Structure 1
Amino acid sequence: MKKILIILFLFLTLISFSGTFFNPLGPTLLPAAGMYINKVPTLQTDFWRNIDQAQTLVLKSQADFIVLPVALGVELINKGADYSLAGISLWKSFYLISNNEISGVNDLNGKRIVTLHGPGQTADVILKILKKMNNIDFEIVYVTSGPEIIQLLASGKENIAVLPEPFVSLAEVKTQGKIKVRMDLQKIYASMFNLKDQKIPIAGVFVSNKKYKENPNFVKRVLDAYENSANEFYKNNFEQAIDYVFKVMQTMPKPVLEKAASRSEIYYRNDIKEITDLYLKNLLEYNAISNIPEDLYLNY
C-alpha cells in the first residue's frame, strides 16, 4: 500500500509539473529539434501553423512556452498577454529575392515587394522602416504562404519578394537559379542604424509568467533543454535535426533545408537585453510596435 501511495504521489507530482511548448513550422524548428526528438519529461511539444493560431495560444494562455517572432510576442504582451521573453534563438533568416538585378535600396523605388502576411512578421517590420527612413515609395503586397509567393515569382506575376529561409532556398532551387538573393535583410537593418553586428533578434522563446511563478525549476529545466538543443544538439547532430524538420514539414526537400540552414544564424542566448532593447526601440520609433513592455525579460 505504501509503495502504491509513493507511486501515486510521484505521478501526481509529475503531472503538476507538466507544461506545453509550441514552435512554428519553419526555420525556428531547427534549434528546437533536439527537444522534439529527445522529449523533455512532462513537457508536451506541439506546433503552431499560422499567426492567428499563435495569437490564440498566447492570448488565451494555452501555451506555457512558445517560440514567436519578437515583434509579434511583444505586441501580444502589449495586448495583455502575461508572458516574458526568455531568450533569442534565430538571428538571421530573411532575404530579398528577385529574378531582376537589384544593386541597392533605391532600386526598390516604385516597385512591388511581396512578403508574408502577418502582424509582427520581421520582413514587414523592416520593410516599413526602410520605406520610411529612406523615403522610398514601394508597395508591400501581402500573401499568405511562402510557396504561393514562390509560384508568383516563378510565373512572373511578381518580381520581388522578401522571405525567410527555407523559402529563399526553395525559390532558388525551384527556378534553377533564376530567382536569386539580392539583399540580406539583416545587413539592410544594420546599415540603417549604423550597427556593426549584422543580425536581428528575429525569434525567441516566450514563457508564461504564471507557469514560471508556479514552478521556476521546471521552467529553467525546459529552457536549459532548449538551449542545449539549439547550441549543442543542432551543431553536433545537424543531419538528424535536418531529417526531423524534413519529416515534420513534408513540403521542403532535404537539400533545400540544408542550404537554408547554412544561410541562417541559429544559436540560443538569454543575455539579450542590450541588442533586443535597441531593436524594440527602432520598432517603436517606426510604429511597428505600440509600446515596449516593462519587465519584458524573464530572469531565470
Structure 2
Amino acid sequence: MRRFFILIFIVLSVLSFAVSISIPVGPTVVAFSGLLGKKVSGDVEIKIDFWRTLDQVNAQIVAKNVDLIVLPVSIGASLYSRGLDLKLAAVIMWSGFYIVTKDLGKVDLKDLVGQEVYTPQGKGQTGDVLIRYLFERIGLKPDNDVKIRYATPPEIVSLMSAGKIKIAVLPEPYVTLAMRQAKASIAYDLQQLWSEHTGLPARVPITGVFIVRVLDKETLHKTLTAVEKSLKYAVENTREAAALSSPHLGGIPVEVVEESLTRTLYEYRPASEIVSEVIHYLSITQQVDPSVMPSLPDEKFFTF
C-alpha cells in the first residue's frame, strides 16, 4: 500500500510540472507528430491538448491555463494588439496554402469578378489575408468585386465535392483531399503569388508558437527544443508523421497527409531571427483589414 501511494505521488508530481501546449486541430498537428507519437523526447515533460475555436483560444490566454499555444501568426498578433498577454517564440509553418478550383482549371484571378471564393475559418486568418491582399494588388475589391465566404476546410472540401463551390483557398492537407475527393486542381500557389507581389521569398510566417504563461529560461529552452525536434522528425519521416497525424485530422487518409507534405514547408525559426519578416507580413495584414490588426506589435511581442 505504501508503494502505491508513493507511485501516485510521483505521477502527480511529474504531471504537475508538465509543460502544457495547446495546438489547433489542423495541419500544424504534423509538426507535433513526433511528440504526440512519443518518437522524440525532451528534458521536460510536455502535455499536448487541442483547441478548435478562437473562443477557446481567448479563454486559454486570458485564464493562462496553458504554457504555450500554437496559432496563426496573424491571429496571435491581433490578440496581442488587443491587449492579450502572449509572446511569439518561434514560427514553424511557412508554406501550404493554395487556390484550388473545380471544373475551371487555371483561371486568371482578374476574371473572378462576381465570383465567390471560400477561405478557411474567418477574417484575419492566413488564407483570408493572402487572398484579400492579392485581389487588391490586381485591382479587385474584396467583398465588392469578389465575394469572400468562410467555412472550415472540411466543409469547403465537402461543398466542392458536391459541386457547390468552384473556387477556394485551402491549406494542406485539405488541398490534396480536395484534389482526390472533389477532383479539384491547384490553380495557384499562394506563397509564390506573395513572392511575385512583394519581392520576398515564396514563404509566409503562417503558424507560430506563442508563450502564454511565463516559464523559467531553462524550461522554455528545453520545451522549444523538443518542439523543434518533433518538427524535424516529421520532415525526415513523412510516412510515420502522416500516420501519427491522421487520427487528429478527422481521419484524413495517411496517403493524403503524406502527399500533402510535398507541398508544405515546416521549418523551425526562433522569433528573434525573423522579426523583420514577421513585421512585414503583419503590416500587410493591417493594410488589408485594420479592424483585424489595430496596431502592429512592438518588440515585446517577440521572444529574444
Alignment correspondent of 1:78: 81
Taking every aligned residue pair, what percent have the same amino acid on both sides?
30
Q: 1:275, 1:125 → 2: CA distance? A: 16
Q: Contact conserved, 1:166 with 1:260, CA < 8 A, in 2? A: yes
Alignment correspondent of 1:245: 245
Q: Contact conserved, 2:21 with 2:48, CA < 8 A, in 1? A: yes
Alignment correspondent of 2:260: 260
The CA deviation at 1:8 is 11
TM-aligned CA distance change 1:119 to 1:64, over 3 Å? farther
The CA deviation at 1:128 is 1.9
Q: For 1:72-111, list aligned pairs within 5 A.
A: 72-99=75-102, 100-111=104-115
Q: 1:164, 1:55 → 2: CA distance? A: 23
TM-aligned CA distance change 1:13 to 1:152, over 3 Å? closer
Q: 1:15, 1:242 → 2: CA distance? A: 28
Instruction: Give the ranges of 4+ consecutive aligned residues of structure 1 lying more than 4 Å apart after TM superposition.
Output: 7-16
Q: 1:223 aligned to 2:224?
A: yes
Alignment correspondent of 2:303: 298
Q: For 1:130-209, list aligned pairs within 5 A.
A: 130-136=134-140, 137-143=145-151, 145-175=152-182, 178-195=183-200, 197-208=201-212
Q: Larger deviation: 165-174 or 31-40?
A: 31-40
Q: Which runs of 5+ in 1 are unaligned?
A: 1-6
Query: Is the partner of 1:126 in helix, strand or coil?
Result: helix
Q: 1:236, 1:151 → 2: CA distance? A: 31
Q: Which runs of 5+ in 2 are unaligned?
A: 1-6
Question: What's the RMSD between the two structures over aligned residues?
Answer: 2.3
Q: Structure 1-normalised TM-score?
A: 0.88
Q: Contact conserved, 2:88 with 2:301, CA < 8 A, in 1? A: yes
Q: 1:61 aligned to 2:64?
A: yes
The CA deviation at 1:256 is 0.7
The CA deviation at 1:11 is 8.0
Q: 1:250, 1:279 → 2: CA distance? A: 30
Query: Is the partner of 1:58 in helix, strand or coil?
Result: helix
Alignment correspondent of 1:4: none
The CA deviation at 1:171 is 0.6
Q: 1:51 aligned to 2:59?
A: no
Q: 2:119, 2:243 → 1: CA distance? A: 27
Q: 2:139, 2:240 → 1: CA distance? A: 45
The code of the aligned residue for 1:279 comes to Y
The CA deviation at 1:33 is 1.2
Q: Contact conserved, 1:72 with 1:119, CA < 8 A, in 2? A: no
